[in-house]
Amino acid sequence: MSQQSPFATTMEIPPAAAKPARVFSGIQPTGELHIGNYLGAVRTWRQQIEEGKDETMFCVVDAHAITVPYDPKDLRKNIDDLCLDLIACGLDPEKTTLFVQSDVREHTELAWYLASVTPMGDLGRMTQFKDKGEGKDFVSTGLFTYPVLMSADILLYKATVVPVGEDQVQHLELARETVRRFNHRFPGEKVSGKKPRPIFVEPKPRLSVTPRIMGLDGESKMSKSKGNTIGLFEHPDSFWKKLSKAYTDPQRLKLTDPGRPEICNIFTMHKAISPKETQDEVVANCTGAKWGCVACKKVLFDNFEKELIPLRTKREALSIEQVRQAMGDGAAKARRIAVETMKEVRQVMGLGSLAT
């Protein structure tokens, strides 16, 4: 047995002989990449690229970002920044297909078609819609139909595995349901008496070891919209300043109080970032009331630094022209698959002139 990878995921990796999976995931360009995104998703994406077993595709989902009020100038900058960040994190465009969603128009086309098999009731039950829409003067139709576009992103490439954080699992369930509904509603015509293969396959979520990183306030998930984040590429001084004040076990008031690592967000991050021996040390010293929380955070910070220094160096060396070129190439690769899927979709749905 090979040694357990520190990036191990909760889902079993298929045996070598199995057909390679097509892995797809996306991230919104809505502000700085934070450590929750990194530990919950991006780090797992890099791991899957490095394993080299599966075909991987990662997408900067700008069309999702316009579902809440925004400034076009900021969006443009956020797209550039996120592309730089992702490549610096190890999403090497030579080894994966990395692209910007709106560069492949088929995403929005398929979303419209999938909307015809998606009940409004299902969309109204989505937790993210309730969270983002509640109490707002203006709630766009796009925010409501957001999960349909997300299903389209995945189904367009017939992806089988979708590595995401826990907050996206409900959307994934809807995507699976959409596959069942679509394949049932549009089975295609029989060829020589045989039923055709359904167009879409059900995608499965894949969670990292840390699928939910809490915010620094300890009240909710770390999230750009809550302002409770630490930026992945933040200067080490402010990174430490924020980490040193982060919420821990509320029962631990004095150094002599034993702590509970299993409920502490700092320990969750150790599980992703620190070696196994350090994790064991944290458990012993926290439950034994030997280390204070600041000491425990300092160890975590040092391990973050070990991981982040090479990423920062890489980011500084990248030019935006180089990155934009790579994103254009990525979109061209993605489009080749998207065009083929859409031909099948239009055909089974009876759309178009069928001339192409």
Q: Check: CB of residue 268 under 8 Å from CB of residue 213.
A: yes
Q: Residue 37 or 145: which CB sits closer to ligand TYM?
A: 37
Kindly list the strands in the beta sheet with 22-27, ordered across the sheet, starting from the edge strand earlier in the chain.
97-100, 55-60, 22-27, 161-163, 204-206
Query: What burial class does residue 190 get, using C-beta atoms within 10 Å of its C-beta: 0-12 exposed, 13-18 middle, 19+ buried?
Result: exposed
Which residue is it, tokens 């009331």? 289
Least Å distance, CB 26 to ligand TYM, is 3
How many angstroms separate the CA atoms of 297 and 245, rounded? 9
Task: Note whether 150 binds ligand TYM by CB under 6 A.
Answer: yes
Q: Check: CB of residue 82 under 8 Å from CB of residue 29.
A: yes
Least Å distance, CB 162 to ligand TYM, is 5
Q: Is 77 a catalytic residue?
A: no
Site track for ligand TYM across 17-56, x = CB under 6 A: -------xxxxx-------xx--xx---------------
Task: Note whether 155 binds ligand TYM by CB under 6 A.
Answer: no
Q: Check: CB of residue 21 under 8 Å from CB of residue 55.
A: yes
**Catalytic position from the list 53, 204, 221, 290:** 221
Q: Is 19 a catalytic residue?
A: no
Q: Is 221 a catalytic residue?
A: yes
Q: What are phi and psi of 164, to 5 degrees?
A: -145, 170
**Which has the closest alpha carbon to 208: 37, 45, 40, 26?**
40
Q: Residue 165 or 259: which CB sits closer to ligand TYM?
A: 165
Site track for ligand TYM across 213-242, x = CB under 6 A: x-------xxx-------------------
The catalytic site residues sit at: 132, 221, 224
Q: Which residues bind ligand TYM (CB under 6 A)?
A: 24-28, 36-37, 40-41, 61, 64, 150, 153-154, 162, 164-165, 167-168, 211-213, 221-223
